[in-house]
Amino acid sequence: MPDMEPRGVREPPLNERERLAQILVLSGRHGIKGLAGLLGLAQGREEPLENARPEAVVALMRDLGPVAVKFGQILAMRSDLLKPEWTTALSTLQDRLPPLPFETLRPIVEEAVGAPWEAPSWRSTRSRSPPPPLHRSTPRH
């Protein structure tokens, strides 16, 4: 059955085989050759995945997109599971990413929510009274 959802300017999603092929190509490009062997997709002499450099895995995650980046951000906080060189490299995914313009993100959000984006209102709809006054704090001695 054909997909009938409007996509706007976004490219259609890849099917599972296409995405897997993309992941394997990007893995090889970043020198992480053991991934195909680990997944049982390649035979022969593949480099063990344990030899992957943390910086190469971070670069791969950036190229794979937001889901992989979010996964890397979560892993960066798991010093109980990973060695320090891994958490240090993965932590660069938390603060050293290029900015994503909202206009690029808008169609993705609208498609996920199923409705046009509406900017949040800063004033509560429940209360029509003015905000409470602010008072300067005075330290107690």
pLDDT tens digits, the chain, 141 residues: what are they?
344 444 444 566 678 888 888 888 888 888 877 766 666 666 545 566 666 788 988 999 988 888 888 899 999 999 998 899 999 999 999 876 677 788 888 888 888 888 888 776 655 555 566 666 777 777 776
| 56 φ/ψ angles, rounded to the nearest 5 degrees | -70, -40
Residue 23 and residue 36 in contact, taking contact as beta carbons nearer than 8 Å: no
pLDDT at 3: 45
**Rounded distance between C-alpha atoms, residue 54 and residue 73, angstroms:** 13
pLDDT at 2: 42
Model-level pTM?
0.55
pLDDT at 28: 82
